[in-house]
Amino acid sequence: MYEAGAPAAEPANAASAIPYPPRAVAWYATIVLAIMYWLSVLDRFIISLLVGPIKADLGISDTQFGLLNGLAFAVTFCLFGLVAGAVTDRFSRRWVVFSGVSIWSISTALCGTAQNFWHLMTARVGVGAGEAALSPAATSMLTDLFPRERLTLAIAVYSIGSTIGSGCAFLFGGLIIEAVSKHDTVALPLIGDVRSWQAVFFIVGVPGALLSLLMFTIPEPLRRGQRAAAASWAFVLAAYRDLLRFIRKQPRFFFAHYAGFGLASLVVTGLGTWYAAFMGRTFGWHFGQIGLALGLIMGGCGIVGPIVSGRCIDAMVRRGRQDAQFLWYGGCVAIAAPAGVIALTSHTPLVFLVFIVIFQVLTSSINACNNAALSLVTPNALRGTGVAFFSATAGLLGLSLGPLLMGAISDHVFHSEAAIGYGMATVVGIALPLAALLLLSGRKHMRAAVAAAVDA
């Protein structure tokens, strides 16, 4: 069933004969992994609330901030993710997650020591390197903890950590910033005097190293459908050779998946970077107001959206719909596109809040749909590798280009910081309809890929 030590494997033809762990064990592990996801997104997005003070102290532009929050994090996240994905498929997944959490927490704290743009970029590289380990390992573990008809809900609950993390980044980050910004400098134990925005990174980064120990309270699940093989670092390259061979068997599914979810990720990631700046510049709100509004929206929508999506998709799967993830999320982003454009071009706070809630509920299940679709198609021996490869290709598009494009359109098309909303709306209005078209037109290819995986 499951074990607490190093990862094990079983004969491929025995996979269906071995029962899954007790539901209490599986759901506890899911909650712990969701906490790790919450922590990762909190550390990732806290910088979004600090656009103003960082720009003032370090003298950077919106385009540079887009690079800082997008490209510096994303390239490292994807490159290290390639290694983490292959390691996940060969070594203890608990240790992979524990190591990643420790690295990104320390790197977040180091952001608080930055004295210029390049110092901060280097620290953000460390955050990306650590966070790269989480999703490949977590998705692989969940796929071995739950049967396929319950998998999307499990991944949805795990993904709630992401949206609650971004909500907490805004809610608690806003409160922290309000508290520390009353003084130009803050005295921290063992560190000394730092700028108020630098103190925020220490406050949110240091506790992560302690929370990482929670990983040792959950079991290492037995790997299903994977033949035993000796752990070897040479497997890193071999894993991607095998993955590319597998992708070539279902090219139309992977094109629709990578392109559709990649474009949606571009929008979701880019908006997360610029929401706070948009609200401050457009409505004149202070940190506390922005943090409260975004915290409630991200937290509330981040719970409702994934849970509703997970339950509905699992019900569709039980009724035999093998394209449920593509059908559901393609429809969601088609509806979300006009809602997002209306919200981001409005100068009325109430209109923005109403339509952004609709937008967030519809788009917040992206990780659940994306990872569940990949897991249903990809063999166990390649699941961590597959998630990492998506992050390093289509995922890189969203993480790096989303924040950069929105900032660059504001700077170079509308020529005004006050026009950041129009830069955001432009990307939403182009990318999301394309994502919907790709996912909905790719449903037949997903049905074929899932059927092939079931028969394998």
**Which pair of structure tokens corresponds to residue 355?**
């339509």
What is the structure's pLDDT at 59? 78
Distances 379 to 18, 155, 239, 331, 373 between C-alpha atoms, Å: 17, 17, 12, 27, 12
Distances 198 to 20, 242, 272 between C-alpha atoms, Å: 46, 44, 20
More confident residue, 199 or 127: 127
Distance CA 410, CA 416 (A): 6
Q: pLDDT per residue over 77-121, tens digit each?
A: 778 888 888 888 888 899 999 999 999 999 988 888 878 888 888
Has residue 371 got a pLDDT over 60? yes
Q: pLDDT per residue over 190-228, tens digit each?
A: 676 777 778 888 888 888 888 889 999 998 888 876 544
**Which pair of structure tokens corresponds to residue 340?**
């997002």
Domain boundaries, the chain: 10-227+236-455
Q: How many CA atoms lie within 13 A of 310 on its CB side?
A: 24
Positive or negative CA dihedral for 316, 321, 325, 326?
negative
> Model pTM?
0.71
125: confidence class by pLDDT, cuts 50, 70, 90: confident
Burial class (CB in 10 A: 0-12, 13-18, 19+), 179: middle
The answer to whether 177 and 287 are in contact (CB under 8 A) is yes
What is the structure's pLDDT at 414? 84
Q: pLDDT per residue over 226-282, tens digit each?
A: 544 444 555 667 778 888 999 999 999 999 999 999 999 999 988 987 888 899 889
Return the closest-CA partner of residue 272 out of 118, 2, 70. 70
The whole-angstrom distance between residue 456's C-alpha and the CA centroid of its chain comes to: 30
Q: pLDDT per residue over 16-65, tens digit each?
A: 557 888 889 999 999 999 999 888 888 877 777 777 778 777 877 777 77
* CATH code for the domain defined by 10-227+236-455: 1.20.1250.20
For 5-19, 270-284, 403-417, which range has the lowest pLDDT when averaged over its residues? 5-19
**Which bin fits 225, alpha (ψ -120 to 50), beta or left (φ > 0)?**
left
Has residue 2 got a pLDDT over 60? no
Q: pLDDT per residue over 284-298, tens digit each?
A: 887 778 878 888 888
Residues in the chain: 456
